[in-house]
């Protein structure tokens, strides 16, 4: 499933969400994304609306990665996190 792209509907829905985030002036510094295609496409849409956003592909976010390894990677890059 790693090569499956976002559907047109998925792109529209996420662009609507990102526009709402812009309306409430929510600015992000970093997005960690799986290297899988649809996750990267999602991050790219967000970056289009927030050009200063850093995007980092994290292999541990793909597939059935170990949760502890994933959290270790996440906390290398952030000071505060909301999930």
Nearest to 40 by CA among 76, 64, 14, 5: 5
Residue by residue, DSSP assigns 10-77 as: HHHHHHHHHHHHHHTT---SEEEE-SSHHHHHHHHHHHHH-TT-EEEE-GGGSTT--HHHHHHHHHHH
What is the dihedral sign for C-alpha 49, 16, 21, 74? negative
82 pLDDT higher than 60 = no
- Between 73 and 24, the higher pLDDT residue: 24
Residue 83 has pLDDT above 60, yes or no: no
**Structure-model confidence comparison of residues 3 and 62, the more confident one:** 3
Q: pLDDT tens digits, residue range 24-55?
A: 988 888 888 999 999 999 999 999 999 998 89
**Closest Cα partner for 28 from 59, 11, 52?**
52
**Is 60 exceeded by the pLDDT of residue 69?**
yes
């Amino acid at each position: 499933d790693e090569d499956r792209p976002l559907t047109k509907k998925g792109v529209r829905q996420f662009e609507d969400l990102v526009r709402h985030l812009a309306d409430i002036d929510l600015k992000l510094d970093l997005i960690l994304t799986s290297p899988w295609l649809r996750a990267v496409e999602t991050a790219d849409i967000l970056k289009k609306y927030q050009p200063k956003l850093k995007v980092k592909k994290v292999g541990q976010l793909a597939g059935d990665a170990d949760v502890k390894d994933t959290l270790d990677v996440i906390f290398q890059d952030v000071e505060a996190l909301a999930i």
